[in-house]
Amino acid sequence: MKIRLSYGTAVKMGLHRGKMLAEPTTAYVMLGETCKSNCSFCAQRRDARKENYLSRIIWPEYSVEVLKEINGFSRICFQTLDYENVVDDLLVILPMITNIPVSVSIVPIPREDMVKLKNAGVQIISIALDAANEEIFTKVKGAGVGNRFTWKGHWKALRDVISIFGTANTHLIVGLGESDEDLVKVMLSLKKENITTALFSFTPVQGGAQPDVGRYRVIQLARFLIYRGYEDFLELTGGKISKIMVPEREKKSVERGLPFLTSGCPGCNRPFYNERPGGIIYNYPRKMRGNEIKDALEQLRNYSQLVF
Ligand code: SF4
């Protein structure tokens, strides 16, 4: 069986020669040759497949056997395409991985298959909502692009995951046309249901623009505070976060730049998923330097009033 490794994963494993600008702490594995779905923001979508790409990343191909050698990572994440035998393939591969926590990012699958994956050692399942509200979901990854997915179906699958695993993860993309309020509302609902959120910035595969970095910083800070258990720390004006107040107890974390690091499963840093080397870093894959934290707060202040 063939798999693809993210460029950084392959370099770190010594399988590919190249430079790593930031070392991946999770090994990212893409599973599946073609995707039957057509999400508008995805490089692997049915109607415009960019072979070897997912988000901004190149994914060289290897035999699945290389996974037997895997070490030096704090997690392995299978990013699966939507295809018929995906669960069967995972069940063949999972017994090869014994010493490292496993995450699987997958489309909604039947409950019985979730149980099989749990019994085979999967720790976290991620089902990506990507969109912050039902209307945008339908437009970018539902009926609007000829997919079978529905907002309700994804939420049901996330709840199935919770009932089996106790927790679940989802991905949200900032910049698909949603308001800040949509993002805040959906993150509050996700948090209430014990679903963690990994934030991505929209990365154009064909047209469109990445979100304003100041807006992204505000959403990162909102995500951080929501998952620390806060609810009343911001003001909205016409759907936009106009003011964000950092609670006293969180000031140190913000001063260390924690809200601006990659979010998601423990140990996941996804270097350069959303960034061009040398360009704006949306999700920091490593500890931030003093000047980077200062810049991030400055960017944030250009978008919202920060009470800090
Ligand atoms: S947060 Fe990271 S490790 Fe978890 S499913 Fe997403 S990409 Fe994989």
Choose which residue among 107, 126, 199, 273 to substitute to test ligand 1 binding: the one with the highest number of ligand atoms within 8 A of its C-beta: 126
The pLDDT value recorded for residue 51 is 58
Dump pLDDT digits (tens) for 204-225. 876 778 999 999 999 999 999 9
CA distance linking residue 26 with residue 302, whole number of Å: 33
Q: Is the minimum distance from the CB of 196 to ligand 1 under 6 angstroms?
A: no
Query: What is the chain's Cα-based Rg?
Result: 19
**Single-letter amino acid, residue 193:** E
Question: Contact at 8 Å (CB) between 102 and 122?
Answer: yes
The pLDDT value recorded for residue 50 is 58
- Smallest CA-to-CA distance from 258 within 202, 303, 249 is with 249
Choose which residue among 6, 122, 270 to substitute to test ligand 1 binding: the one with the highest number of ligand atoms within 8 A of its C-beta: 270
Q: How confident is the model at residue 44 (pLDDT cuts 50, 70, 90)?
A: confident
CA distance linking residue 33 with residue 161, whole number of Å: 25
Q: What are phi and psi of 54, to 5 degrees?
A: -145, 130
CA distance linking residue 154 with residue 89, whole number of Å: 22
Ligand 1 center–CA 126 separation, angstroms:
7
Residue 274 has pLDDT above 90, yes or no: no
The three-state secondary structure class of 121 is: coil
CA distance linking residue 234 with residue 181, whole number of Å: 10
Ligand 1 center–CA 53 separation, angstroms:
17
Q: Is the minimum distance from the CB of 5 to ligand 1 under 6 angstroms?
A: no
Q: Is the minimum distance from the CB of 129 to ligand 1 under 6 angstroms?
A: no
Range 296-302 average pLDDT:
98
Q: How confident is the model at residue 55 (pLDDT cuts 50, 70, 90)?
A: low
Q: Is the minimum distance from the CB of 55 to ligand 1 under 6 angstroms?
A: no
Q: Is the pTM of this model over 0.85?
A: yes
The pLDDT value recorded for residue 205 is 73
The pLDDT value recorded for residue 76 is 98
Choose which residue among 6, 103, 261 to substitute to test ligand 1 binding: the one with the highest number of ligand atoms within 8 A of its C-beta: 103
Ligand 1 center–CA 193 separation, angstroms:
18
- Locate the ligand 1 atom nearest the alpha carbon of residue 198 and give its number: 1
Q: Is the minimum distance from the CB of 42 to ligand 1 under 6 angstroms?
A: no
- Locate the ligand 1 atom nearest the alpha carbon of residue 126 and give its number: 5
Range 132-144 average pLDDT:
98
Residue 259 has pLDDT above 80, yes or no: yes
- CATH number of the domain that residue 222 is part of: 3.20.20.70
Residue 37 has pLDDT above 70, yes or no: yes
Residue 25 has pLDDT above 80, yes or no: yes
The pLDDT value recorded for residue 120 is 98
Range of 188's domain?
A: 2-307
Query: What's the CA dihedral at 29, 33, 38, 39 to 10 degrees?
Result: 10
Ligand 1 center–CA 172 separation, angstroms:
12
Q: Name which of 46-55, 100-109, 134-143, 193-202 the model is least confident about.
A: 46-55
Q: How confident is the model at residue 261 (pLDDT cuts 50, 70, 90)?
A: very high
Domain count, the chain: 1
Dump pLDDT digits (tens) for 162-205. 999 999 999 999 999 999 999 999 999 999 999 999 999 998 87
For helices 151-165 and 134-141, give the axis angle rounded to 10 degrees.
100
Q: How confident is the model at residue 58 (pLDDT cuts 50, 70, 90)?
A: confident
Residue 238 has pLDDT above 70, yes or no: yes
Q: Is the minimum distance from the CB of 29 to ligand 1 under 6 angstroms?
A: no
Average pLDDT, the chain: 94
Ligand 1 center–CA 264 separation, angstroms:
6
**Which residue's CA is the nearest one to ligand 1's atom 4?**
265
- Smallest CA-to-CA distance from 176 within 131, 206, 238 is with 131
Q: How much of the chain exceeds pLDDT 90, in percent? A: 84
**Which residue's CA is the nearest one to ligand 1's atom 8?**
77
Sign of the Cα pseudo-torsion (170, 173, 178, 183, in order): positive
Q: How far is CA 294 from the centre of its chain?
A: 25
Residue 48 has pLDDT above 80, yes or no: no
DSSP state for residue 91 in the 8-state scheme: H
Dump pLDDT digits (tens) for 84-117. 999 999 999 999 998 899 999 999 999 999 999 9
The pLDDT value recorded for residue 96 is 95
Range 54-80 average pLDDT:
89
Q: Name which of 56-65, 133-142, 149-158 the model is least confident about.
A: 56-65
